[in-house]
Structure formats: C-alpha cells, structure tokens
Amino acid sequence: MTPDKTKAKIHVERMMHRSSIAIAGESAASYALLKLIPATGGSGATMSLNLAMVLDVSGSMYEEDGTGKSRLSRVQEAAIGALEYLRPEDKITIVAFAHNAELVLPATAISQKNQIIDTIMRIDMFHVDAGGTSMDQGIDLGLNELHRIFDPKRISQLIVLTDGETSGEQLCRQHAKRAADTKINLSVIGVGTEWNSGLIKDLAALSNGKWHYIDVNQIDSAQKVFASEFQSLSSVGFQDVEIHLMLMKDIKVRRVRMVVPEIKDLNLQDLGERHFSAKLGPLEKDKTSRYILDLSLPKRPDGKFKLLDIEVTFDAGAANRESSGAIPLEMNYTAAGHGYINAEVARHIDEVQIFELNKNLQEAISQGNTQEATRVAQSIEKKGEVMGSRASKKTMLAKQVLAEINQGGRVSKKTQLAVDDAARAATE
C-alpha cells in the first residue's frame, strides 16, 4: 500500500523514555510512548452503529443487594438512559439469556425508541427459563444477528452483561474469537461478585475488546458503566485500527501495552522479517490513545539511530484501508551516560508497574498465599504513595487488601474486583 499522506486521519506522536541512552553491555531495556491522535473535521466523522445487547435475566438478577432495586431494574434503567447517546440511524438488537437464550428484539433503528424501551422493560417476560446461565447461547444469538445485518461502513458491537458463573465457557471463548475474526467488537460487563472474572478477561482479550465491573452496592454503578460504553461507541470515528512495527536489525519489541484510555496488554503478532502488528480495535474521534512499547536496544556507537518504523492502518468508514505512512522512531546513543527522563513517559510506566503488581496480587490471592499477597499489596501501596494523588484510589485499595488480610487472613471477592478494576484505570 502506498499511502497518500495528505489523507492520513490518525496522527502519530512518539517519544522515548530517555533523551539518550548509554549501553555498557550488549543490550539494554528502554521504553517508547506512542500517541495516536485522530484528526478533527469531516474526514473524522463518527460512524453509524450496529449494536447487540445480550442481557442476563437469570434468577439472581432479581437480588436487590441492599439498594431497594433489583439488579435487573438497575440495568434496565441504565440501558434505557444510555440510549440517548445513540443516533436515530443506529440499530440495536436485544438478546435475553438465562438457562436458554432468545432474540427478543431483532435489529431495530434507534428511531423506534418506544419499541426498544418496551422490550428492555419486558426483557424478563419472554420465553427464557430463569434457572441457569448460558451466556454462550446469548453471545451466539447476538453474533448471528450482527452477522445478518453486517455493514463494513458501520461499527459492529456486542455488549454482554452477566451476574453469574456460566456453562459453556469454551464455547464463549470460541465466540469471542469468532467476533474478532469477523470484525465485531466485544464488551463484557460483570455485575456483582459471582461472575467468573477470569473468563470475562479472557473474552475481552480474545476479542481485542473491553470488560467492565458493576459494583452492585453502588446504585448508580450500572448507569455509569452503560453511559460510558454507549457514549464511547457513539464517538467512534475509526474501526479495525492496527499498529505495525518494522524493526531495524537487533532491535526487539518485548510487548506493547495500551495505557490510555485504559491499561491493557495487546496481542503482538509476529508477521516475519522483523515486522510485528497489534490490533487496537476502534478509536474515538478527537480522543487520543496512548501505548507503551517495551524495547530491547543493542549497543551502538554515539549518534542518532532509527530503531523502527511505525505505521497505523485503519478504516474510517469507507470500507477500505488507509495508512498513516511509515513514521520513524529514533534514539540518541551516547557513551557519556543516560540522558534526562521524559516525565510523561515515566508517569505511564509507573501506572503499568502497578498494573503488573496487581496481576501478581490476584495470583497470590487465588492461590491462598497470604504472605505473597501481603508483600505485593505493600509494594502497590508504596508505589501509589510515590505517585501521589493520581494513584490515591489504588493506594486506598491496597490498604484495604492489607486490612482484610490482617483481620481475617483472606481478601473478599468484592475487594479483589475493585482492586482489579482500579489497576487498569489510566490517567490522561
């Protein structure tokens, strides 16, 4: 592909962790921050949406959790309220699932809002047996409807909500992979504490999608999650975005992480000939996303050297691929010593380190290793205190983990989920 640079709609900024590097041995670790900045203007117009909502209506959704409203009622209100972020031409499909699943509303334009609201309010009155949780069947029906109305000029999005463990876990994973292969974006929402967080994270990772956590004890939590998700979808201007890294000889890329709008690992694919790519999914118009490259750099003589070329490819709604063109990432080498640290890059690296510590914390808790969980929670607490106010919530939750271990020797599922949710939260 020969890009027309005048048509590039996603601008790329890049900066290294240090202004220069000194390598005494054969190689050294370094980091780079990439900013993807979608262009403003008509060429970056938002894209229409085909949305499928797959909602759990099992018996546990009637629990009130001390709020005076059932989980189902709170989700219904949140979903209806979030419709205001969608446009009349957007389409929505609704699937209800429990022991079985049913397509309760085929793809319908948002302009038919009364019909959509009526379906949401009656979602537990269809032919679904409330005595079980078969999320795999719900996802399958939602995907089938999105495939039926697939339009390459529209964003295809599946949102799944559950509050419990499900049967058919492997089928769920297969469906998530199928979504990714067919350019359907997936978001999975867990309500309460009884859902399988490991499975939901797997589904998000397999589909290059997202996961959310609704705290059932906070009456407005569902509203915030649905509003955030729908508002984000209505702002998408670019879909099927990929980043390509073409490395110079002896340069290695160990991993790529998104750090804004959230922190998450990206699947890095080796295409051969020192060419790697990662799928970024959809990007919102006028909203910068950020990524950290974890690199290994070889020894070089003094001077400026190109490390790699960066290319971003995307679909801006015309159903054809466009490109940013190849953009070089360079590094200054000097035997005199390391140069100054870029504070913006360092800030994101700090947050990534808490993210990684949280993975270790979750593993220690799941294994019942309270000694290791205590050690890691203390590390998170100290790291958070160094980071200051922007990490106050993460520090507070680490202290909560330590308090629960000291009081009873175990950490509640609710605290685990809150820690996990906070760890991936990013600051602009």
- The first and second tokens of residue 223, run together, are 């509203």
pLDDT per residue as tens digits for the range 359-394: 999 999 999 999 999 999 999 999 999 999 889 999
- Nearest alpha-carbon partner for 403 in 423, 382, 373: 373
**Residues 182, 305 within the same domain:** no
**Residues 71, 218 within the same domain:** yes
- Nearest alpha-carbon partner for 48 in 194, 237, 203, 222: 237
Give the 3-state secondary structure of residue 349: helix
pLDDT of 1 above 70: no
pLDDT per residue as tens digits for the range 39-76: 755 444 788 999 999 999 999 999 999 889 999 999 99
CA–CA gap between residue 192 and residue 72 (Å, rounded): 12
The mean per-residue pLDDT over the stretch 196-216 comes to: 93
- Measured in residues, the chain has a length of 428
* Per-residue pLDDT band at 2 (split at 50, 70, 90): very low
Out of 234, 249, 281, a domain closes at: 234
Question: In this predicted structure, what is the pLDDT of residue 40?
Answer: 55
Residue with tokens 């469906």: 175
**Residues 152, 173 within the same domain:** yes
Helices (H), 149-298: 169-181, 197-206, 221-234
pLDDT per residue as tens digits for the range 178-200: 999 999 999 999 999 999 999 99
Q: Is residue 1 part of a domain?
A: no
Question: In this predicted structure, what is the pLDDT of residue 107?
Answer: 98
Domain that holds residue 105: 49-234
Question: In this predicted structure, what is the pLDDT of residue 249?
Answer: 96
pLDDT per residue as tens digits for the range 324-368: 999 999 999 999 999 999 999 999 999 999 999 999 999 999 999
**Residues 213, 311 within the same domain:** no
pLDDT per residue as tens digits for the range 84-110: 999 999 999 999 999 999 999 999 999
Question: In this predicted structure, what is the pLDDT of residue 275?
Answer: 98
What's the angle, vertex CA 404, arms to CA 403 and CA 408, rounded to 5? 120
Task: Give the chain's mean pLDDT.
Answer: 93
Burial environment of residue 35 by CB neighbours within 10 A (0 to 12, 13 to 18, 19 or more):
middle
* CATH code of the domain covering residue 97: 3.40.50.410
Q: Is residue 203 part of a domain?
A: yes
Cα 106 to Cα 12, 186, 194: the distances in Å are 40, 18, 30
For residue 298, say if its preceding peptide bond is cis, omega within 30 degrees of 0.
no
pLDDT of 5 above 50: no
**Residues 141, 246 within the same domain:** no
DSSP 378-417: HHHHHHHHHHGGGGHHHHHHHHHHHHHHHHHSS--HHHHH
CA–CA gap between residue 184 and residue 259 (Å, rounded): 22
Structure pTM? 0.92
- The first and second tokens of residue 120, run together, are 């949401």
Question: In this predicted structure, what is the pLDDT of residue 8?
Answer: 47
Q: Is residue 2 part of a domain?
A: no
**Residues 55, 139 within the same domain:** yes
Helices (H), 207-322: 221-234
**Residues 183, 108 within the same domain:** yes
> Which amino acid is it at 377?
A
Question: In this predicted structure, what is the pLDDT of residue 233?
Answer: 94
Helices (H), 287-391: 343-366, 370-387
pLDDT per residue as tens digits for the range 268-293: 999 999 999 999 999 998 899 999 99
Question: In this predicted structure, what is the pLDDT of residue 3?
Answer: 43
Question: In this predicted structure, what is the pLDDT of residue 7?
Answer: 55
Out of 297, 319, 341, a domain closes at: 341
The mean per-residue pLDDT over the stretch 238-259 comes to: 96
**Residues 189, 91 within the same domain:** yes
Run of H or E including 240: strand 236-247
pLDDT of 229 above 50: yes
Out of 204, 234, 264, a domain closes at: 234
